[in-house]
Amino acid sequence: MKVSGFTFVRNAVKLRYPVVPVIRSVLPLVDEMIVNVGDGDDGTIDLVRAIDDPRLVIFESPWDPRLKAGGAILAQQTDLALARCTGDVGIYVQADEAVHEDDHPRIRAMLERLHADPRAEGLIFDYVHFYGSFHTVGAARR
């Protein structure tokens, strides 16, 4: 089973997205990590390249400002990264999400079950959502 990780990011330096720890949190689980870096102006591409892992597949893409309404640009950029995945299963993380290393064995086992079951289309994870600080935690998916 080949596992593809994928994400997209733009202006991570300026917006203080923890994209390097995000990518590193997924690398132990994947055979390739697709990173779509948007056409920003703050050195995000250099930050991602500095991870220097042979599993990284980095590409750049333009962002059409007309697609900002309703998050259409986010969906488009996600789809561009997904289209480059060559694995049997994929792990998607956004540039402000991370996977805890203690969960790697369970996630790997779940990915293997997902791959073996043709009826399964995906996995949903419970997660902790911080709002503004590490002291305020969201209690619902919304």
> Is residue 140 very low, low, confident or very high in pLDDT (cuts 50, 70, 90)?
low
The distance from CA 139 to its chain's CA centroid, rounded to whole angstroms, is 22
For residue 141, what pLDDT is reported? 60
Q: Which pTM value belongs to this model?
A: 0.91
Residue 142 lies in a domain: no
Number of domains composing the chain: 1
Residue 57 lies in a domain: yes
Residue 90 lies in a domain: yes
Q: What is the CATH number of the domain that holds 52?
A: 3.90.550.10
Of these ranges, 51-60, 91-100, 124-133, the one predicted with the greatest mean pLDDT is 51-60
For 14, the domain range is 3-101
Residue 53 lies in a domain: yes
Residue 133 lies in a domain: no
Residue 124 lies in a domain: no
Tell me the three-class secondary structure of the chain, residue by residue.
Answer: CCEEEEEEECCHHHHCCCHHHHHHHHHHHCCEEEEEEECCCCCHHHHHHCCCCCCEEEEEECCCHHHCHHHHHHHHHHHHHHHCCCCCEEEECCCCCCCCHHHHHHHHHHHHHHHHCCCCCCCCCCCCEECCCCCCEECCCC
Residue 123 lies in a domain: no
Over residues 31-65, the pLDDT tens digits come to 999 999 999 889 999 999 999 999 999 999 999 98
